[in-house]
Structure formats: structure tokens, C-alpha cells
Amino acid sequence: MNSILMQSNLILQYPTWFILICIAVGVAYALGLYFRDRSFGEKSKQLNWGLGTLRFLTVTIICLLLLTPVIKSTTTESEPPIVVLAQDNSESIGRNMSEEAKAKYQQDMEQLEAELSKKYNLKTYSFGEQVRSDIDFTYTDKATDIGGFMQEMYDLYSNQNIGTIIWATDGIYNQGSSPIYAGSKLNTPIFSIALGDTVPKKDLILKKVYNNQIAYLGDKFKVQIDVAAINCGATSTQLTISNGSRTVHSSSVTLANNDFFETIEVTLDASRSGVQKYTVSLSSVSGEATKANNTRDFYIDVLDARQKILLLAESPHPDMAAFKKTIAINKNYEVAIEYAADFKGNLAEYDFVLLHQLPSRRNSIVEVMATIRNKRIPHLFVVGTQTDLPNLSQLQGVLQLTTRGNQTNDTKATLATNFSLFTLDEKVKEIVPNFPPLTTPFADFKAKVDASTLLMQRIGSINTEYPLLVLGEEQGVKKGVLAGEGIWKWRIYDYVQNKSFDRFDELFGKVIQYLGTKEDKRKFRAFVGNTIYNENETISIDAELYNSNYERINTPEANITIRDDKGKSFPYTFNKTENAYGLTINGLPEGSYQYEAKTNFGGKELKSGGAFAVKSIQLEVFESTADHQLLHLISSGNGGQVVYADQVNQLAEMIDAKGFVKPVLYDTIKTRSLIHLKWIFFLLLGLLTLEWFLRRYFGSY
């Protein structure tokens, strides 16, 4: 701010005529003291006048100070107006200008910046993906958020003396909200420098590709493709989708008119696991302005989450069909039925095993249970009339069975009140007590202390303390026991009552899901925040190391090597956080990446790996026609105007001619009591000292 004027006024707290009283008091005091004083002999007359004057001034000033006078000072300051000069730094600006045109335009903008900074408080910005201070002429931003720029200006300057905003852009925005509303809030003139070409060129555009980020191996997924064409009527193009070197889809698209748009839906197979890159492309047409917008890449993380489930039975039983149908509903489960006497497969290949009426008196399944224990495979026992109960009690540690004969009971189910491993829908809870009875052995049942009981036994009209379905974990392996056979009747009952198997499927689907879910017991784990990143995003990779007590530590160094799809390696060292490891990476080019993290702990090398992909941002290549209508709409609505690149050197004069860029005057008022002025004190001290000195010098004291 520049100071223009300072004014000061003396203000009394009492009426002005009180000054006369102060003067009268001073006169009276001086006359009373010196009018008839003859202490100075022959010099008394002249000296009395001088001493009386000093005393008069002293007393009058003291009386005036009793009136509490204050000094009011007003300072008028001038604040020059703020002028904002902003440049769109997105790729679409540079793509539509030759190198000579860029150099000339940059020179004109720098000259405009110099002229404006002489007169105004100039603020310069670049915008594209985000708003940044200072003007940048590199034109490298992958997206344009005009609405974000307008909102930023509103947040920064809505309560300040902003004279005008000058922004240079082509009006193309592909990120954020519409800038029209944000621009109208600014309430300040906006000058738009219109860049780019508004004449539509012959162009085939692959505008957008919509796809899920995740698919499961073996599933099908849909891809929605928006195809547009300008001035390409009466021609056709070939739409191709490829996964690496494989072409997974190809079809012809007829461009019926010059203003063409069509949404095409394609269904693809997720036949490969991992992060998969797909390329959608349109064959070019003759005379096309640019081919850069004929291709788009997208990535899908194909998860191989399938689990192989084995239903191993003593003999054929309708329960097996009921279990298989329930399990097969989940596409991530692959289920097979085998019989203990004939099973020759590799049990280690399975993620979960259901043992129906096993062990039996005929099949002790010693080898099966040895493999289950060694490979730590989750499993569920289903007790039937053929089950060897004493052997079963020894093979699992969640339910103790003590047989009391060869008889059986017809047992209905009730829900346990304190079960908390997972939740069931209220409709399931309502139907469970109404299910038909199962066949259970005549025995004593007791759940182990650390087991969880889901269903209890109701025999006849008596709710017993015997568990019917128990789930638990023993030495890190999940297992369960269903102490009865005949659940096929439950599934039929559900359909008869509700015309669906939903309630039965949820009950046993959640049991299988709980038992089949494996906990990650690895001592060293590395994982990415996302599996798919944009090329302008920061990639974050974290790692955790656990000791034998599964306490998280980060004592040793940890390294990671990232490899792209061309085999190039990028080695990094993890940063240590509070008790883990972290790494952030910027600037990886578009492509698929594999990573492997390593550390040494307890004399062993521990490894953990994974994959992610970086996809390019192609927003700026899919719109080549400038939108100057948007610029006219914003500028006219805010009292400004639109100029073109060859008029940049005239902008400073145009702004002056408009006359709306004016400084603001601020008045600062300060008040100060006169009694606080030090010179008043020294004035009074000087008057009294001089009077004392004269009286002493001339012999009065």
C-alpha cells in the first residue's frame, strides 16, 4: 500500500469553554504568586513578569491535561487492484500451435505480464490438472479442469480488490465440474484469450471406454465403448480390442452421418489372471486430422480367487448334492465329489475338504487326515450313521462325542445365542427352528472351550445343551463338525416355503466361506495401495515384517525391485516408518509392472511380490475442437470480453479503457491521549526547572 495523506486533530473530552477555565486558573495562580512579590528588589517588576509567565504556562498546561485531550490521526492509504493472468497449460493448447506460433505467443504474454505488473498487483497462474503459481508454457498437463481454476480464484480473491481476471485457454475441459457456475460467482470482469481452432476437422474419436476395475478369472465382463466421428459420413471403421498380442474382439462400425455417435457394448472373457492391459482401437479413415484419438488402453485386475473344494464321502448321499449346489452358486468355488474308497486324487490341490460320514468303520482315512494336517487344509466333518464316532473325536478338537449306543435321534436345530464369528440374515434366523429334523447319533456332545457353536440340538420338545454345528480353529487350521445328516431336507423345505433356496444357501454358504478363508500368516508382506494407477498418480507400496510372536518390526533393511513388461528393472529401498516400511514412486511410464520385495531376518531371506499397472491419461487427445462459445458465455456474463492470440499486446490498453480496474482507499484512524506524549512531560519539567533556576539565581531561595 502507498500512503497518500495523514491528518491529525486534537479532541477534548469536555466542552471547549473549559479551556477558558484552564487559562483563568493559570492567570490566577501566576498573579497570586508574583503580582506583589518584592523578593527580587529592583528587578522584581521585570522578573515577576517572566516568572509569572512560566508559572502561567505550567499551570495552564496541567489543567488542560486534566481535560484528557486526545490526538486523532487519520492515515489514508491506497491499495492497487489485483489482476490475475492465467495460462492453460494442457496438451491440447500445444498440439494446435506450431513452434513459431508458440514462441510468438509466449513473447506477447511475457510482454503483457511486464506491462500489467507496473500498474497492478499482478498474480500469475497456470492451470490444467491443477492450479499452480506462475505461468508455464510447456503444455504438458494431461487434463484440463477449468471449473477447478475458477473455484480457486473465487476462494483466493472473492473478498479482495480484484480488478480483472485474464485467462488464456481453448475452452476445452475434461475434468471437474462446469466452469460456468464457478465463473459467475467471481463477480469480476473476465478477459478470455481464445486459443485453438473452432473449425471441426475430419476426425474419428474413441471418446470413452467404461469397464470394471476388477474381474474374476473365468468370468465374463462387459466393456462399453463410445465412438464418435466428425465429417466422416458414409464410411466405416474396424473396432478392435486386443490383450497383448491376442485380438479378443473385432467388429465393423458403419459411420452413418457426419455427426456420428454410438455406444458399443462388448463382452469379453477374463481368461488370464493378473493385471491385464487391453487396447481398443479404431482403424483410421481417409483424410483424418489426427490418429492419436483412435486408440485407448484400459486395465482390468483379473483375480484368481477360485478355491477348489472337495466333498469326500463314505457313500452316495443326497446331502452331497445339497452341499454341491450351494457351493457351486459362488463362481469362485470349484467343487468336486469323491468317495473315500475310490479317491486317488491329490488332496493337497484342494483349499477345503468336506468329510461326509468320515471317518467310517470301513474307511479310517488315515492318509487323508495326515495330508489335511500337513497341508493345513480347512475341513468340515458331517456326522452320519456310518461315522466312526470314537475315531472322529480323536481327529478333531472342536467337538467331543461320547457314544451311548447305536441308536439315533431326530434332532431339530436352534440358533446359539452367543455366536459371533459371522452374522446371518433375520430371515435365516426365522427359518432355522422350522427346518425338518436331522439324524444325529445317540451320544453326549460337548463343544471345546475355544470353539464357537452356531446351532444347538432340540430333541422332541426339549432344547438341549448339545451343540449341532460347531466351528473352531486348531493350531491355525479352521475346522467344524455338523453332528447330523439329512440337511438335503432343509434345502427342499426352504424351497417349498419360500420358492427359493436363498436361506439355506446363505446359512451353509457362510459356514463354507468362514472355514475356507485362509489367514495370511506370512512374516513378510508387501502390497500396493491400488492395482491400477493413472500416470500422474503417486504409487504407494507398503511392507510389513513380523517376528515369531507376530509383532510388527522394521529392524532390517527391505528392498524392492519393480520390473516393467519389457523386462526393465527399477530397484528401490524401502523407507522405514514407525514400525513398518513404505515407499512412494512418481513418474513410472504407462505399462504393467511386477514387483518383488526382499528382506533378511533370522538368517532367512523373505520375499513378497505382486503386480500393478500404470495407465496413461489420454483425455487431451480426444477433443480437438476449441470451445470459444464457453469463453464468450463466461466473459460476457462478467463484463469482460474475448480476444484472440494476435490481440494479446493490446490487452493492457483495453483494460485501462474499461476503467474498472481501480485502487481502493483505506482510512486508518488512531487515537492517542496527549498525556502519554513524552515531550509534554519534558516541557513541563523544563518550565518548572527554568522557574526554579531564575528564582535561585536572583536570590529568592
Which CATH number characterizes residue 377's domain? 3.40.50.880
Element (H, E) at 324: helix 318-328
Question: Which residues lie below 8 Å from residue 566, measured CB to CB, with a gap of 6+?
Answer: 591
Chain segment 661-678, per-residue pLDDT in tens: 666 666 677 888 878 888
* pLDDT greater than 60 at residue 700: no
* Closest alpha carbon to 688 in 258, 54, 231, 50: 54
What is the distance between the alpha carbons of residues 162 and 148, in angstroms, rounded to a whole number?
18
What was the pLDDT predicted at 6? 64
Residue 619 to residue 293: CA distance in whole angstroms:
9
The three cell numbers of residue 107 are 513473447
User: In this structure, what CATH number is given to the domain that contains residue 575?
Assistant: 2.60.40.1930
Residue 51 lies in a domain: yes
What is the residue type of 284? Answer: S
Position 463 scores a pLDDT of 93
Are residues 586 and 542 in contact, defined by beta-carbon separation less than 8 angstroms? no
Cis-peptide, bond into residue 359, ω within 30° of zero:
yes
Tell how strand 307-313 and strand 352-356 pair up: parallel
Cα separation of 631 and 637, whole Å? 10
Residue 261 domain boundaries? 203-302
639, 613 Cβ separation under 8 angstroms: no
Query: Domain for residue 691, yes or no?
Result: yes
Measured CA to CA, the distance from residue 141 to residue 468 in angstroms comes to: 64
Element (H, E) at 77: strand 70-79
Q: Indicate which CATH number applies to the domain containing 225.
A: 2.60.40.10
Nearest-angstrom CA–CA distance, 532 and 277: 10
Q: Is 426 contained in some domain? A: yes
353 lies in the same domain as 450: yes
502-516 and 318-328 helices cross at what angle (nearest 10)?
80
Q: What are phi and psi of 21, to 5 degrees?
A: -65, -40
How far apart, in whole angstroms, are the C-alpha atoms of residue 615 and residue 588? 10
What CATH number does the domain containing 152 carry? 3.40.50.410
Q: Can you give the pLDDT at residue 692? A: 85
Q: Which of 615, 634, 653 is the last residue of a domain?
A: 615
Domain count, the chain: 5
Contact between 651 and 167 under an 8 Å Cβ cutoff? The reply is: no
Angle between helices 502-516 and 488-498 (to 10 degrees): 140
Cell numbers of 544, please? 510389513
pLDDT of residue 210: 87
**Average pLDDT, rounded, for the chain:** 87
Same domain, 561 and 606: yes
Greater pLDDT, 52 or 369: 369
> Both 368 and 481 in a single domain?
yes
Q: Of the segments 342-346, 500-504, 514-518, which one has the largest average pLDDT value?
A: 500-504
Question: For residues 251 and 432, what is the distance between their CA atoms, to the nearest angstrom?
Answer: 53
Residues 6+ apart with CB under 8 A from 156: none
E strand spans, 331-476: 333-339, 352-356, 379-382, 399-415, 438-447, 452-459, 462-474
Predicted confidence (pLDDT) per residue in 207-266, tens digit: 888 888 778 787 788 999 999 888 888 889 999 999 988 999 999 999 888 888 999 999
Amino acid 596: pLDDT = 93
> Does 14 reside within a domain?
yes
615: CB partners within 8 A, 6+ apart: 297, 298, 299, 532, 533, 534, 535, 590
Residues 637 and 541 in one domain: no
Are 294 and 340 in a shared domain?
A: no
Confidence of residue 72 (pLDDT cuts 50, 70, 90): confident
Q: 279 and 250, same structural domain?
A: yes
Looking at the domain assignment, is residue 391 inside a domain?
A: yes
How would residue 587 be classed by pLDDT, with cut points 50, 70 and 90?
Answer: confident
Q: Is the pLDDT of residue 699 over 70?
A: no
- The yes-or-no verdict on residue 508 having pLDDT over 80 is yes
Express each pLDDT in 114-140 by its tens digit: 999 888 889 999 999 889 999 989 988
Q: Specify the pLDDT at position 168.
A: 93
Q: Which of 285, 326, 106, 110 is nearest to 202 (CA)?
A: 285
Instruction: Please say whether the beta carbons of 201 and 226 come within 8 A.
Output: no
According to the model, what pLDDT value does residue 1 have? 47
User: In this structure, are 358 and 422 located in the same domain?
Assistant: yes
Nearest to 205 by CA among 187, 229, 175: 229
Decide if pLDDT at 373 tops 80.
yes
Round to whole Å and give the CA distance between 47 and 38: 10
What pLDDT was estimated at residue 2?
56
Instruction: Note whether residue 692 is domain-resident.
Output: yes
Residues 335 and 441 reside in one and the same domain: yes
Residues 611 and 636 in one domain: no
This prediction has a pTM of 0.54
Which of 302, 332, 355 is the C-terminal boundary of a domain?
A: 302
Distance CA 191, CA 655 (A): 9
582 shares a domain with 638: no
Q: Does residue 194 sit in the same domain as residue 214?
A: no
| Cα–Cα distance measured from residue 317 to residue 357, given in angstroms and rounded to the nearest whole number | 10
Same domain, 609 and 639: no
Boundary of a domain, candidates 247, 280, 302: 302
Alpha-carbon gap, residue 288 to 525, rounded angstroms: 50
The answer as to whether 620 is a domain residue is no
Residue 409 lies in a domain: yes
